[in-house]
Structure 1
Amino acid sequence: MQTISTQYGELIPQHTSDDLRKREILPVEYHGSGGLKSVPLETQTVIATPAGEIPAELISFHENGAINRIFPLNGKLSGYWSQDDEAALSKPVTLTTPIGLIRVKVLSVSFYDDRSLRSLTLWPGETLSVPTPAGPIEARIGVSFTRDGKVRSLEPAKPTSVPTRAGEMTAYDPDAVGVNGDANSLMFDEEGKVCRVITTLTKLTVIHPDGHTHCHVPETRESLCSEAEQEVVPMTVTFTKDTVSVSTDPDATPMTLPREGHVFFAESHLPQLANPFVELHCSV
């Protein structure tokens, strides 16, 4: 055991293990420059951050010594210790954020190297009402912010209609994974306009300069739950000031078209209505 001095006080690295949550002793890691990179803590320790006091079992740091990400819990899931067991230890934390004072259970809280809040990763099942340029939206999984405190992205908790440069689109990603809340399926640019949407419920039609049209719709794949069913693959549409990119296959290069000379418009797309009697178990 050796105490480590940081900007946030003295930290005691993990030096013991147990048979349930912490089945191994995790190492302390350092940046190439020699600065502390991450430290698992022996016991949960309350850390004073710009967002408020947060209990921590694992902390990672930027090279300048500022906190990068803080994890209130760091148990190892196994046949002996389940997510429900870990969830029973999770407690709500009160945080001062760009969207106001909130109280919520979090998997982690991330900061930029200037100590401003970067993102919140919510505990599974937790939701948070987020005021956005598109209006208040209920978020799950995560919310991220720009350095100056604007909402950068969030993961909608349910299919949500948002205005885009192509018209109203329904933002929702049934395949979203809650590893962290840094980058989410609904994103805004510096002007507060939607710059990326992931959707299974919108069709994007493009009218080309020569007059012909092409429709982009979410594709389908064999269901992960049953070989007899098909499920929808989320489609990603990205907007910039000059281009629109569409990706219907996560493994393929997106199709990018200039906005000038093309007309883009969105409309509802409900592929499940083609066979309304089949229940979709894995997606929307």
Structure 2
Amino acid sequence: MQTISTQYGELIPQHTSDDLRKRDILPVEYHASGVVKSVPLEEQTVIVTPIGDIPAELVSFHENGTLNRVFPLNGKLSGYWSQDDEAGLSRPVTLATPFGPIRTRIMSVGFYDDRSLRSLTLWPGETLSVPTPAGPMEARVGVSFTRDGRVRSLEPAKPTVVPTRAGEMTAFDPDAVGVNGDVNSLVFDDEGKVCRVITTLTKLTVVHPDGHTVCHVPEHRESLCSEAEQEVVPMCVEFDSETVRIRTNPDNAPLVLPVEGHVFFAEPYLPQLANPFVELHCSI
């Protein structure tokens, strides 16, 4: 056992294991410069962060020594220890976010190297009311912030209508995975406008310069629940000042169209009505 000196106090790395949660002894990692990069902790330790005190079992650091990410829990899921078992150990924490104090269960909190809050990753099943440039929204999975405290992205907890350069689109990603809250399906640019949205409930129609019209809709795939069923593949649309990028299949490159000369407009799309013989048990 050897303590690690950090800007946040002396930390005791993990040096024992058990038969349930911590079946391996994880190593301390270092940056190439020799500065500590991550420390799995022997016991849950309270870390004093810029947004509040957070009990941690794993912490990582930027190369300048400031916090990168704090994990309240760090158990290893297995046949002996399930997510439900781990969830039983999760406790709410009170945090001072850019939009006010919150109290919720978190999987991790991320920080920029200037100590400002980068992201919140929520525990599965937790939701959070977030004031966004498009109005207040319920978020799940995660929320990310710019360095100056503006909401950069979030994962909508339910299908939510948002304004875009093509008109109103319904934002929701049924395939969202809560690895971390740094990158989410609904993203805002520096002006507060929607610059990326994932949807299963919107059709995007494009009028090309020669007058012909093309409709882009979410595709379908074989359901993960049953080979006899199909489910909707979320469609991703990204906007910037010069182009619109449309991806209807995550395995293919996006279609990139210039804004100049094209007209884009969105309208509701209900896959059940477009193909009434398809059941959508998993995604929607």
- Cα offset, 1:249, TM superposition: 1.0
Partner of 2:39: 39
Q: Secondary structure at the match of 1:238?
A: strand
The percentage of counterpart residues that share the same residue type is 82
Name 2:262's counterpart in structure 1.
Answer: 262
1:74 maps to what in 2?
74
Which letter maps to 1:77? L
For 1:273 and 1:217, locate their aligned partners in 2 and report how far apart those are by CA, in whole Å.
13
Task: Provide the secondary structure at the position in 2 that maps to 1:65.
Answer: coil
Counterpart CA distance in 2 for 1:216 and 1:269 is: 10
Verify: 1:106 aligned to 2:124, yes or no.
Answer: no
Q: Shift in Å at residue 274 of structure 1?
A: 4.0
Residues in 2 aligned to 1:212 and 1:79: alpha-carbon distance in whole angstroms: 56
CA contact (8 A) 2:232 2:280 kept: no
Task: Report the Cα offset of residue 278 of structure 1.
Answer: 5.6
Q: Secondary structure at the match of 1:64?
A: coil
TM-score normalised per structure 1: 0.98
Question: How many angstroms apart in 2 are the aligned matches of 1:280 and 1:220?
Answer: 10
* Alignment partner, residue 50 of structure 2: 50
Does residue 1:192 correspond to 2:192, yes or no? yes
> Structure 1 unaligned runs (5+)?
none
Q: Which amino acid aligns with 1:131?
A: P
In structure 2, the partner of 1:63 is 63
> Which residue of 1 is the match for residue 21 of structure 2?
21
Q: How far off its partner does 1:156 sit?
A: 0.3
Question: 2:5 and 2:276 mapped to 1: Cα distance?
Answer: 61
Question: For 2:84, what is the secondary structure of its paired residue?
Answer: helix
Q: CA RMSD in A?
A: 0.9
Indicate the residue corresponding to 1:92 in structure 2: 92
CA distance in 1, matches of 2:14, 2:122: 25
Partners of 2:28 and 2:65 in 1: how far apart?
14
Letter in 1 for 2:10: E
Aligned residues of 2:66 and 2:114 also touching (Cα < 8 A): yes
Relative to structure 1, is the Cα distance of residues 66 and 91 closer, same or farther in structure 2, using a 3 angstrom cutoff?
same
What are the superposed Cα offsets for residues 158-214 of structure 1, whole Å, 9 maximum, x if unpaired?
A: 000000000000000000001000000000000000000000000000001111111
Q: How many residues align?
A: 284
Q: Secondary structure at the match of 1:43?
A: strand
Q: Which amino acid aligns with 1:169?
A: M
Separation of aligned partners in 2, 1:32 and 1:142: 30
Alignment of 1:243-262 (within 5 A): 243-262=243-262
1:42-85 Cα distance to aligned partner (Å, 9 max, x none): 00000000010000000011000001000000000111111111
Q: Answer yes or no: is 1:138 the counterpart of 2:120.
A: no
Q: Which amino acid aligns with 1:175?
A: D
Q: 1:260 deviation in Å?
A: 1.0
Name the CA distance, whole Å, in 1 between partners of 2:277 and 2:242. Answer: 42
